[in-house]
Amino acid sequence: MDVTGPETDWRSTNFRQKLVSQIDDAMRKAGVAHNKSSKDMESHVFMKAKTRVKHLYLFPELTGVSKEIWNNPQK
């Protein structure tokens, strides 16, 4: 997953939109379907997270996408 940048960037609109797109890609590659949109999932995690690391850490668990696919979306 390509979410590089300074720690403060994780709250920016651009960073969050990039993450939403990567959630879509990872879920599609994993064949995982959800009744919530990736934007809704990102928003839910964003509200719970206090740090960038926590924000990114919660996604594999929330989406059901394995950490291998999440951490290596190019496969």
The whole-model pTM stands at: 0.70
Go through the domains of the chain in sequence order and give each one's CATH number: 10-71 (1.10.246.20)
Name the band, by pLDDT with cuts 50, 70 and 90, for residue 69.
low
Q: Map the chain to HEC letters.
A: CCCCCCHHHHHCHHHHHHHHHHHHHHHHHHCCCCCCCHHHHHHHHHHHCCCHHHHHHHHHHHHCCCHHHHHCCCC
Higher-scoring residue by pLDDT: 9, 16? 16
Query: In angstroms, how far is CA 61 from the centroid of its own chain?
Result: 10
pLDDT in tens, 20-55: 888 888 878 878 777 888 899 889 889 988 888 888
Report the pLDDT averaged over residues 46-67.
Answer: 79
Residue labelled with tokens 């979306």: 73
